[in-house]
Structure 1
Amino acid sequence: MVILLALGFGMFAVAQETTPYKDVAPYLNEARNLRNQNKIDLALETLDKAAAEAEKNEDVKALIDSYHELAILYLKLDREGDTQFYWDRASVLLKDTAYPYGDAIHKYIEAILLYRSDQNFQALAMLEKAKQLNNDRNFFNNILLAEAKVYLNLEKYESATKNLNSLIVNTDIYEKDFLTTQAYLGLAELYLKKGDLSESAKNGEYALKMANTNGFFMELKKANLLLTNIYEQLGRYENAYTNSQNLLQINDSIFNVEKLKVEVKTADKIRDDIKTNQIVSLETKVDELTESQNRSELTAILASAFLIIISLLAVSLFRNNQIKVKTNDLLYTKNKELQLARDGAVQAMEAKTNFLSTVSHELRTPLYAVTGLTHLLLEEEPEEHQKEHLKALKFSGDYLLNFINDILHINKIDANKLEPLNMDFNLKKIINEVMESLQQSAKANNTKLILEFDDSIPGHLMSDPLKLSQVFMNLVGNSIKFTKDGQVTVVTKLLHKYKEDVKIYFEVRDNGIGISKEKQKSIFEGFEQGSIQINREYGGTGLGLTIVKSLLGLFDSEIHLESELDKGSAFSFEIDMKSIDDLSEDITFEITQRDYDFKGLHLMIVEDNKINQVITKKMLSKKEITSDIASNGEDAVILAKENVYDAILMDIHMPGISGEEATVQIRKFDQRTPIIALTAISLDDSLESFYAAGCDDVVTKPFKPEIFYQKIGENIFDKKQKISDA
């Protein structure tokens, strides 16, 4: 092929001027602008015109420039094989042409290929050689950008920063905005690697703005992808979600798929046309030689004909192979886009989950103030008209707390933060406890609760009784809410038992208002309650059935629904469990309530929120308990060293060192004082980590006062009793 090119273009060497003909320069400038705007098909067509004009004018230098621009364009398409093809074409012409600028660009492209194959030091050496050959301002700026990318690979951040900052203020007459955008992207990536997230985000936003203004499509994608990652690490989940949605819209655009097809088709056509033109040129040369009677000319003709035949066969085979290659390229490119879209969707989901979790956690802290103050005011014997308002406020606080807990629960399941436990329990006891706890709600609706329990079900099972209780609490509570003057029945049946493996069928049915066929499809989705009217009449969050569906998913089970309007509903599911028949039946799940004499106790309250400090201190004072207050973890450690306390109430989330870290430090010198964690628990909190740090117990805020006092009594008096008995 090198011989053919020499034959085809050798005639241009004599007529070559020192600079390209002015007829070609506009095409090259236009192609560069189109390339930067990712209008690849138009850029390819423009460069094809430039190459044709160069051949027509017998301008070898212009042809070299055209081939170099085509090579750079194919680099943008990640088709390095085609880049090599045009780089080789330019190599043949440069052998017989004195053209320093062409040699410089040639070395620049070679440096990019070395960089892409992770040969970073060789790439830097080649860029230095290119820099010595030409001082064109646009070329020098592109060299700076290429060097910056190599420095980033080598983690030479100071050198990369110097190059990128100089490009921010570049005065390039051809690619000023494009180079500035690339520089901002480079700085965003650099600061991200260094861990300076705020600077990274600032530069990413500058790049996004420049790319939007100038229509730099690829830079727009890269900026959105970078900012999604940066904002997620900063905890700014709304911003991360916005950028990931932008990325999804870009990747899923039908325009992009069609554009890709056009670009591939144009790229293949131009490359194949160049090869065909070379063959036609050779055929013309053969025709000229046939007019000569000289034997040597005849030999040359025959040799040329032989070469033409071989070339035609090669082109034919190449074209056939390209059909397969083109299909594979399309599939590979689309797969990369789909993977990007999937990653963007995952990041969006994580951003949503973390955002909701953060909001839920932050709401629980002020809610503690609402419920705590309401409890204190109700205990201070308010007047009757005030009592009515306080009870309404308490109901609203409890309702909001349940709503927040539901959201946090759904987030934990979606984020795979929950796993089913495996412990022994009595199924009939669990269901009876749930139904007993809901009797008051049933009486308010004049509804009967009935249990149809299959006595052949083993008395001792292994599974997760707590999550099963949540399932029944939601299903039975849901049925009671929508059933007035009727009945709710819980059915259990043993479907299968083989050795210790059992499969049990559960059903909760009612004769309430029922669910329409249309709404049955979406009733298990979050915040769905059948209709707005139902939501207003019956209240609730619409998350109960979503929680049930998600919890059953942890057991590899599915919920099924049969319902008819005005006739009632039946929810059913099956769960696999293990049977253990040789355990005692004395299984207790309830906390035994006891009265304690708290008078004279002295506690430390570790809490950074001023209102919560006042409320907790007031609640302790009600029981004649004195207390000291530490506003952060550091103060808590100091007070624990200087004083003796009957117990420490430790908030977990505080500025400075956290409650967990403060507990670890206290346990280094005090192993006996009970430490009770008081926390508005969030998505990433782990009860196991609290206990591992040295906490004796955990109470989640906002809490019921009776549970609060019960936990204090258990950990002070019961613990002392156990120590004395030992």
Structure 2
Amino acid sequence: MKFIRSHKKLKHFFALLLVLSLGSLTIAQETTPYKDVAPYLNEARNLRNQNKIDLALETLDKAAEEAEKNEDVKALIDSYHELAILYLKLDREADTQFYWDRASVLLKDTAYPYGDAIHKYIEAILLYRSDQNFQALSMLEKAKQINNDRNFFNNILLAEAKVYLNLEKYESATKNLNSLVVNTDIYEKDFLRTQAYLGLAELYLKKGELNESAKNGEDALKMANTHGFVMESKKANVLLAKIYEQLGLYENAYTKSQNLLQINDSIFNVEKLKVEVKTADKIRDDIKTNQIVSLETKVDELTESQNRSEITAILASAFLIIISLLAVSLFRNNQIKVKTNDLLHTKNKELQVARDGAVQAMEAKTNFLSTVSHELRTPLYAVTGLTHLLLEENPQEHQKEHLKALKFSGDYLLNFINDILHINKIDANKLEPLNMDFNLKKIMNEVMDSLQQSAKANNTKLVLTFDKNIPGHLMSDPLKLSQVFMNLIGNAIKFTKDGQVTVTTKLLHKENEDVKIFFEVRDNGIGISKEKQKSIFDGFEQGSIQINREYGGTGLGLTIVKSLLSLFDSEIRLESELGKGSAFFFEIDMRSLDDLPEDISFEVTQRDYDFKGLHLMIVEDNKINQVITKKMLTKKEITSDIASNGEKMR
């Protein structure tokens, strides 16, 4: 094989190294590894599957150390093989080759079928990674024939399935993966099942069977999250985001993309990569150092026996080995730096792709909500308009009750849809605060007047406490401020019966044109529990299910308030106690225009205008709305013509 030939010289070098350092070991052992080493190997396998790479490396280092101490060649071979597989997971194929070569030297003089099978298994994976799929299948078949371990057979099946997927041999891949779903492996049962579900999800995605792919992807994600298989959880979220996007389930795709961002933040950070690289390099360099120490010990023994010719040969060999190790170490350190930079670059690209996916999912969700909400508003206008017309046509008393209930429901649903559209605009960053001259006291009085009817219905008193030091002319966005107070005061009225709602404005600070104003809306209503105060500003949240049933509402009012205040770089705060009421307060920075004269208050004389005989042009593309509008105008004795678009107006 290409990678074996490229390391032929290195192989001979390690052969000499191992003969000198392990000369006292019994090579032709027939027994299985010492029981003292097996727990380390099992623990390292579990840590590897959970992506705890640095801990797995340290555990395998202990296993190799224990094997050398016990003079157990088979256990040492197993340790080197596990290290090779672990470096494959890190995509450090040069280090994989390093430990594969060390195992090769030991296997040459050791009868160990299980070791030979794993050796060919690693070789097959290297072939698969270099797109030599048929050679990889041939090597896996050889490993299968000499393998005498039932549990390792499952890993061969998994590797075969991945190669079959590459070759688009879906029937063979399905057979292998389904057998792994029900595997009874005593070491990696759950990990193999997770990998099998992932393979099936990828297979069905390639075949275009999206629902089956999603089912297996969710099974894989559930298994991975349950058992801490972080990399498999990442892969499952990537697959599911892609599947749900193709299915048009944009909410699900967005959720998986968010999960992916969290996983990437936990896995791919520079500090973790540094720890893994440092641990990997330390273990490899420690092994080289141990070989040098072994050579020095051998030299001392030969000196005592006064075998000068042998001492000279050993010293020469030791010198060459040390020089070679230093050269290899310098070369590898340079490779490690390049590899680390490439790895960080790759991970940054992956994070960029994941972020772009999340943004795309968010845009899809925003467009979907906007389209659906706009489409719903058109028929709702028809429902509320027709109900209004029916109420004006003197219906019977028993019909009035039903019509009023219908109108209330239509208005409620229309307000709900408007709230969703408002939140959607804020989330999509389509709203920006205006900066215009206005009178704050006038705005506050208009909001209070518009809510007086609701307050009277609840027998609640509205009180405005306005600081007279607040300038008459301010620069900010009066429309968005009105929306904030409409929601806050409306909320306070809804949850306060036979009580009082007090709105307070106070000048906190003024320096030249810059002013800071404090606002508070306080009520003595039902209050909010400590637990619910943490989530009350989240979308669709109310105090409890019982409160929602009794008082109604969408739970979006406070979310809108929080989002609107963020446009002013302000944050809303809350103080509340159950049964004693609530207080919402915040501060906003504005600019004052002191040089402008105060507004002169005047009363507008109300007049009734007679539109009888007026003729209008109605431009409306919806047939039902055309009929409703025309009928409303007719009731006012106004004639009209209708055009569906601008072309028909000509």
TM-score range, shorter chain: 0.5 to 0.7
Pairwise CA distance, 1:504: 32
Q: Provide closer, same or farther for how the CA distance between residues 287 and 502 of structure 1 changes in structure 2, counting only shifts above 3 A.
A: closer
Which is worse superposed, 22-31 or 542-551? 542-551
Q: Provide closer, same or farther for how the CA distance between residues 88 and 587 of structure 1 changes in structure 2, counting only shifts above 3 A.
A: farther
| Distance (whole Å) between structure 2 residues aligned to residue 288 and residue 27 of structure 1 | 33
Pairwise CA distance, 1:46: 1.7
Does the aligned pair in 1 maintain the 2:525–2:582 contact within 8 Å?
Answer: yes
Aligned to 1:627: 640
1:32-56 alpha-carbon deviations (Å, 9 max, x no partner):
2222233322222221111111112
Secondary structure of the 1:107 match is helix
Aligned to 1:37: 50
RMSD: 8.5
| Distance (whole Å) between structure 2 residues aligned to residue 339 and residue 552 of structure 1 | 30
Which is worse superposed, 192-201 or 526-535? 526-535
Q: 1:476 aligns with which of 489, 504, 511?
A: 489
Secondary structure of the 2:507 match is strand
Does the aligned pair in 1 maintain the 2:77–2:107 contact within 8 Å?
Answer: yes
Which is worse superposed, 348-357 or 69-78? 348-357
Q: 1:66 aligns with which of 73, 79, 84?
A: 79
Q: TM-score, normalised by structure 2?
A: 0.61
Aligned to 1:452: 465
Does the aligned pair in 1 maintain the 2:241–2:254 contact within 8 Å?
Answer: yes
Pairwise CA distance, 1:534: 22
| Distance (whole Å) between structure 2 residues aligned to residue 234 and residue 467 of structure 1 | 38
Does the aligned pair in 1 maintain the 2:28–2:109 contact within 8 Å?
Answer: no
Q: Provide closer, same or farther for how the CA distance between residues 19 and 545 of structure 1 changes in structure 2, counting only shifts above 3 A.
A: closer
Q: TM-score, normalised by structure 1?
A: 0.55
Residue identity (%):
91
Pairwise CA distance, 1:165: 0.6
Secondary structure of the 2:27 match is helix
Q: Provide closer, same or farther for how the CA distance between residues 40 and 457 of structure 1 changes in structure 2, counting only shifts above 3 A.
A: closer
Which is worse superposed, 608-617 or 196-205? 608-617
Pairwise CA distance, 1:115: 1.6
Q: Provide closer, same or farther for how the CA distance between residues 157 and 432 of structure 1 changes in structure 2, counting only shifts above 3 A.
A: farther
Which is worse superposed, 478-487 or 52-61? 478-487
Q: 2:36 aligns with which of 23, 33, 36?
A: 23
Q: Which sections of structure 1, spanning at least 5 residues, go unmatched?
A: 634-723
Does the aligned pair in 1 maintain the 2:473–2:598 contact within 8 Å?
Answer: yes
Aligned to 1:260: 273
Pairwise CA distance, 1:113: 1.4
Pairwise CA distance, 1:143: 0.6
Count of residue correspondences? 636
Pairwise CA distance, 1:135: 3.5
Q: Provide closer, same or farther for how the CA distance between residues 566 and 32 of structure 1 changes in structure 2, counting only shifts above 3 A.
A: closer
Does the aligned pair in 2 maintain the 1:9–1:93 contact within 8 Å?
Answer: no
1:255-307 alpha-carbon deviations (Å, 9 max, x no partner):
97655443333222111111211222222233333345555324403422421
Does the aligned pair in 2 maintain the 1:424–1:461 contact within 8 Å?
Answer: yes
Q: Provide closer, same or farther for how the CA distance between residues 602 and 56 of structure 1 changes in structure 2, counting only shifts above 3 A.
A: farther
Does the aligned pair in 1 maintain the 2:37–2:66 contact within 8 Å?
Answer: yes
Q: Provide closer, same or farther for how the CA distance between residues 118 and 606 of structure 1 changes in structure 2, counting only shifts above 3 A.
A: farther
Aligned to 1:535: 548
Which is worse superposed, 352-361 or 419-428? 419-428
Does the aligned pair in 2 maintain the 1:15–1:58 contact within 8 Å?
Answer: no
Does the aligned pair in 2 maintain the 1:237–1:354 contact within 8 Å?
Answer: no
1:116-153 alpha-carbon deviations (Å, 9 max, x no partner):
22222221111111111113111111111111111112
| Distance (whole Å) between structure 2 residues aligned to residue 594 and residue 233 of structure 1 | 60
Does the aligned pair in 1 maintain the 2:516–2:590 contact within 8 Å?
Answer: yes
Aligned to 1:715: none
1:519-570 alpha-carbon deviations (Å, 9 max, x no partner):
9999999999999999999999999999999999999999999999999999
Q: Provide closer, same or farther for how the CA distance between residues 48 and 605 of structure 1 changes in structure 2, counting only shifts above 3 A.
A: farther
| Distance (whole Å) between structure 2 residues aligned to residue 327 and residue 270 of structure 1 | 17
Does the aligned pair in 2 maintain the 1:252–1:341 contact within 8 Å?
Answer: no
Q: Provide closer, same or farther for how the CA distance between residues 264 and 498 of structure 1 changes in structure 2, counting only shifts above 3 A.
A: closer
Which is worse superposed, 199-208 or 440-449? 440-449
Secondary structure of the 1:577 match is strand
| Distance (whole Å) between structure 1 residues aligned to residue 34 and residue 21 of structure 2 | 20
| Distance (whole Å) between structure 2 residues aligned to residue 604 and residue 150 of structure 1 | 71
Does the aligned pair in 1 maintain the 2:292–2:318 contact within 8 Å?
Answer: no
| Distance (whole Å) between structure 2 residues aligned to residue 199 and residue 630 of structure 1 | 50
Q: Provide closer, same or farther for how the CA distance between residues 307 and 725 of structure 1 changes in structure 2, counting only shifts above 3 A.
A: closer
Secondary structure of the 1:15 match is coil
Does the aligned pair in 2 maintain the 1:245–1:348 contact within 8 Å?
Answer: no
Secondary structure of the 1:12 match is coil
Which is worse superposed, 170-179 or 574-583? 574-583
Does the aligned pair in 2 maintain the 1:16–1:58 contact within 8 Å?
Answer: no
Q: Provide closer, same or farther for how the CA distance between residues 285 and 615 of structure 1 changes in structure 2, counting only shifts above 3 A.
A: farther
Pairwise CA distance, 1:63: 1.0
Does the aligned pair in 2 maintain the 1:240–1:351 contact within 8 Å?
Answer: no
Which is worse superposed, 284-293 or 479-488? 479-488
Aligned to 1:721: none
Secondary structure of the 1:50 match is helix
Q: Provide closer, same or farther for how the CA distance between residues 374 and 55 of structure 1 changes in structure 2, counting only shifts above 3 A.
A: same
Q: Provide closer, same or farther for how the CA distance between residues 557 and 282 of structure 1 changes in structure 2, counting only shifts above 3 A.
A: same
Q: Provide closer, same or farther for how the CA distance between residues 11 and 490 of structure 1 changes in structure 2, counting only shifts above 3 A.
A: closer
Secondary structure of the 1:14 match is coil
Pairwise CA distance, 1:334: 5.0
Does the aligned pair in 1 maintain the 2:218–2:240 contact within 8 Å?
Answer: yes
Q: 1:575 aligns with which of 569, 574, 588?
A: 588
| Distance (whole Å) between structure 1 residues aligned to residue 502 and residue 54 of structure 2 | 68
Which is worse superposed, 239-248 or 372-381? 372-381
Q: Provide closer, same or farther for how the CA distance between residues 122 and 471 of structure 1 changes in structure 2, counting only shifts above 3 A.
A: farther
